[in-house]
A and B are shown apart, each in its own frame.
Chain A
Amino acid sequence: MILLTIAVIGIDAYGVNISQELEHQTGRSIDFSTVHTTLKRLEDKGFLHSKMGGATKERGGRRKRFVSITSIGYKALRESQGVRNKLWSQIPIQFQIKSI
Chain B
Amino acid sequence: MPPKWARKILAWSCPKDSLEEVQGDLLELYNYWLETEGEREANKKYILNAIRLQRPFSKVQGKPSIKFNMSAMLKHFSVVAYRNVMRSRSFSLINIVGLSLGLASSLMILLWIMHERSVDNFHTNNTQLFRVYTNFTNQGQIMDAGYNTPAMLPAELKKEIPEIEYATGFVKYFRLSLQDDIYETFRVGDKIEKLKGSRAEKDFFKMFDYKLLAGSAENALTGPQSLCVSRKMAELLFGSADNALGKTVLFDGRKDLIVTAVFENVPNISTDQFDYLMNWDAWVKENPFKQSWGHFGTLSYIQLRPDADWKKVENKMKGFLKSRLGGMTADRKIELGLQRFGDQYLHSKFENGIPTSGRIEYIWIFSGVAALILFIACINFMNLATARAVDRSREIGIRKVVGSSRKNLIWQFISEATLFTFLAVILAVGLVHLFLPWFNELTGKDISLPFGNPYFFLILPLLVIMMGLLTGSYPAFYLSSLKPTKILKGSFVFGHGAVFFRKGLVVVQNVMSVLLLIATLVISRQTNFIQSKNLGYDKENLVYIPLEGDLISKYSIFREEASIMPGIKAVDRCSQFPHAMSFRLPAVEWPGQDPNMMINFALASVGYDFVKVMNLKLIEGRDFSREVKADSTNFLVNEEAVRQMRLKQPVGQQITVFDKKGSIVGVLKDYHTNSLRESIDPIVLDVKEHLNFGTILIRTQPGQTKVAMESLEKICKKINPSYPFLYTFLDEQYGKLYKSEEVISRLANVFAILAIVISSLGLFGLAIFSAEQRKKEIGIRKVLGATLGNILSKFSFDFLRLVFLGSAIAIPISWYVMKGWLQNFAYRIDLAWWIFGLACLITVIISLMTIAMQAVKVGLKNPVEALRTE
Tell yes or no: A98 within 8 A of B by CB. Answer: no
> A36 contacts B27, CB within 8 Å?
no
Tell yes or no: A84 within 8 A of B by CB. Answer: no
Using A20-B32, A36-B53, A40-B18 as known contacts, say yes or no to A64 and B25 having CB atoms under 8 A apart. Answer: yes
The 0/1 profile, CB within 8 Å of B marked 1, for residues 45-66 of chain A is 0000000100000111011110
Find residues 25-41 in chain A having any chain B CB closer than 8 Å to their own CB: 31-34, 36-37, 40-41
> A62 contacts B58, CB within 8 Å?
no
> A62 contacts B27, CB within 8 Å?
yes
> B24 contacts A60, CB within 8 Å?
yes
Across the interface, name the chain B residue whose C-beta is closest to A63: B20
Q: Contact check: which of B21, B27, B28, B52 meets A65 at CB < 8 Å?
A: B21
B52 to chain A, nearest CB (A): 4
> B25 contacts A15, CB within 8 Å?
yes
Tell yes or no: B846 within 8 A of A by CB. Answer: no
> B29 contacts A32, CB within 8 Å?
yes
Find residues 39-83 in chain B having any chain A CB closer than 8 Å to their own CB: 48-49, 52-53, 57-58, 60-61
> A59 contacts B28, CB within 8 Å?
yes
> A33 contacts B52, CB within 8 Å?
yes
**Residues of the B chain whose Cβ atoms lie less than 8 Å from the Cβ of A19:** 29
Bound complex: CA A32 to CA B28 (Å): 11
Tell yes or no: B800 within 8 A of A by CB. Answer: no
Tell yes or no: B701 within 8 A of A by CB. Answer: no
> A37 contacts B58, CB within 8 Å?
yes
**Residues of the A chain whose Cβ atoms lie less than 8 Å from the Cβ of B722:** none
Bound complex: CA A31 to CA B54 (Å): 13
> B53 contacts A59, CB within 8 Å?
no
Tell yes or no: A11 within 8 A of B by CB. Answer: no
Using A31-B49, A31-B52, A44-B61 as known contacts, say yes or no to A36 and B31 having CB atoms under 8 A apart. Answer: no
The 0/1 profile, CB within 8 Å of B marked 1, for residues 61-86 of chain A is 01111000000000000000000000
Using A40-B60, A59-B27 as known contacts, say yes or no to A32 and B21 having CB atoms under 8 A apart. Answer: no
Across the interface, name the chain A residue whose C-beta is closest to B50: A33
**Residues of the A chain whose Cβ atoms lie less than 8 Å from the Cβ of B57:** 33
Bound complex: CA A59 to CA B25 (Å): 7
Tell yes or no: A2 within 8 A of B by CB. Answer: no
> A15 contacts B49, CB within 8 Å?
no
Chain A interface helix/strand/loop/mixed: helix
Across the interface, name the chain A residue whose C-beta is closest to B31: A58
B160 to chain A, nearest CB (A): 64
The 0/1 profile, CB within 8 Å of A marked 1, for residues 676-712 of chain B is 0000000000000000000000000000000000000
**Residues of the B chain whose Cβ atoms lie less than 8 Å from the Cβ of A32:** 25-26, 29, 49
Q: Interface size class for chain A? A: 20 to 34
Across the interface, name the chain B residue whose C-beta is closest to A60: B27
Bound complex: CA A34 to CA B25 (Å): 13
B673 to chain A, nearest CB (A): 78
Most chain-A CB neighbours within 10 Å: which of B21, B27, B48? B21
B547 to chain A, nearest CB (A): 88
**Residues of the B chain whose Cβ atoms lie less than 8 Å from the Cβ of A62:** 20-21, 23-24, 27
A45 to chain B, nearest CB (A): 11
Across the interface, name the chain B residue whose C-beta is closest to A40: B60
Tell yes or no: A8 within 8 A of B by CB. Answer: no
B61 to chain A, nearest CB (A): 7
Using A32-B49, A40-B60 as known contacts, say yes or no to A15 and B27 having CB atoms under 8 A apart. Answer: no
Bound complex: CA A1 to CA B360 (Å): 71
Tell yes or no: B22 within 8 A of A by CB. Answer: yes
Q: Contact check: which of B21, B26, B27, B29 meets A52 at CB < 8 Å?
A: B21
A18 to chain B, nearest CB (A): 9
**Residues of the A chain whose Cβ atoms lie less than 8 Å from the Cβ of B60:** 37, 40-41, 44
**Residues of the B chain whose Cβ atoms lie less than 8 Å from the Cβ of A44:** 60-61
A10 to chain B, nearest CB (A): 19
A16 to chain B, nearest CB (A): 5
Interface residue count on the B side (C-beta < 8 Å)? 21
A96 to chain B, nearest CB (A): 38
A43 to chain B, nearest CB (A): 10
**Residues of the A chain whose Cβ atoms lie less than 8 Å from the Cβ of B25:** 14-16, 32, 36, 59, 64
**Residues of the B chain whose Cβ atoms lie less than 8 Å from the Cβ of A64:** 21, 24-25
Bound complex: CA A52 to CA B463 (Å): 45
**Residues of the B chain whose Cβ atoms lie less than 8 Å from the Cβ of A36:** 18, 22, 25, 53, 58
B655 to chain A, nearest CB (A): 89
The 0/1 profile, CB within 8 Å of A marked 1, for residues 4-38 of chain B is 00000000000000101111111111011000000
Q: Contact check: which of A33, A59, A60 meets B58 at CB < 8 Å?
A: A33
Across the interface, name the chain B residue whose C-beta is closest to A53: B21
**Residues of the B chain whose Cβ atoms lie less than 8 Å from the Cβ of A52:** 21
B417 to chain A, nearest CB (A): 38
> B58 contacts A15, CB within 8 Å?
no
**Residues of the B chain whose Cβ atoms lie less than 8 Å from the Cβ of A60:** 23-24, 27
Across the interface, name the chain A residue whose C-beta is closest to B48: A31
B191 to chain A, nearest CB (A): 81
Bound complex: CA A75 to CA B642 (Å): 116
Most chain-A CB neighbours within 10 Å: which of B25, B48, B52? B25
A5 to chain B, nearest CB (A): 15
Across the interface, name the chain A residue whose C-beta is closest to B51: A33
Bound complex: CA A64 to CA B24 (Å): 7
Bound complex: CA A34 to CA B61 (Å): 15
Q: Contact check: which of A20, A41, A58, A65 meets B18 at CB < 8 Å?
A: A65
> B58 contacts A16, CB within 8 Å?
no
Bound complex: CA A73 to CA B24 (Å): 25
Q: Contact check: which of A31, A37, A41, A59 meets B24 at CB < 8 Å?
A: A59
Using A36-B22, A59-B24, A65-B18 as known contacts, say yes or no to A16 and B32 having CB atoms under 8 A apart. Answer: yes
Most chain-A CB neighbours within 10 Å: which of B18, B24, B29, B48? B24
Bound complex: CA A20 to CA B31 (Å): 13
Bound complex: CA A32 to CA B27 (Å): 11
Bound complex: CA A59 to CA B32 (Å): 11
Bound complex: CA A36 to CA B59 (Å): 11
Bound complex: CA A41 to CA B48 (Å): 21
**Residues of the A chain whose Cβ atoms lie less than 8 Å from the Cβ of B53:** 33, 36
Across the interface, name the chain A residue whose C-beta is closest to B26: A32
Bound complex: CA A52 to CA B48 (Å): 26
B54 to chain A, nearest CB (A): 9
**Residues of the A chain whose Cβ atoms lie less than 8 Å from the Cβ of B32:** 16, 20
**Residues of the B chain whose Cβ atoms lie less than 8 Å from the Cβ of A31:** 48-49, 52
Across the interface, name the chain A residue whose C-beta is closest to B19: A62
Across the interface, name the chain A residue whose C-beta is closest to B61: A44
**Residues of the A chain whose Cβ atoms lie less than 8 Å from the Cβ of B26:** 32
> A16 contacts B29, CB within 8 Å?
yes
Across the interface, name the chain B residue whose C-beta is closest to A50: B21
Bound complex: CA A35 to CA B49 (Å): 11
**Residues of the B chain whose Cβ atoms lie less than 8 Å from the Cβ of A41:** 60
B712 to chain A, nearest CB (A): 92
Bound complex: CA A56 to CA B23 (Å): 13
Across the interface, name the chain B residue whose C-beta is closest to A19: B29
> A15 contacts B21, CB within 8 Å?
yes
A60 to chain B, nearest CB (A): 5
The 8 closest A-B pairs by CB, nearest first: A62-B24, A15-B25, A33-B52, A65-B21, A59-B24, A37-B58, A33-B53, A16-B28
A–B complex contacts, Cβ < 8 Å, 25 sampled: A14-B21, A16-B25, A16-B28, A19-B29, A31-B49, A31-B52, A32-B25, A32-B26, A33-B49, A33-B52, A33-B58, A36-B22, A37-B60, A40-B60, A41-B60, A44-B60, A52-B21, A59-B24, A62-B27, A63-B20, A63-B24, A64-B21, A64-B25, A65-B18, A65-B21
Q: A32-B29, A37-B58 are in contact. List 4 more A-B contacts (CB 8 A).
A: A20-B32, A41-B60, A44-B60, A62-B21
Residues on B facing A (Cβ under 8 Å): 18, 20-29, 31-32, 48-49, 52-53, 57-58, 60-61
Residues on A facing B (Cβ under 8 Å): 14-16, 19-20, 31-34, 36-37, 40-41, 44, 52, 58-60, 62-65
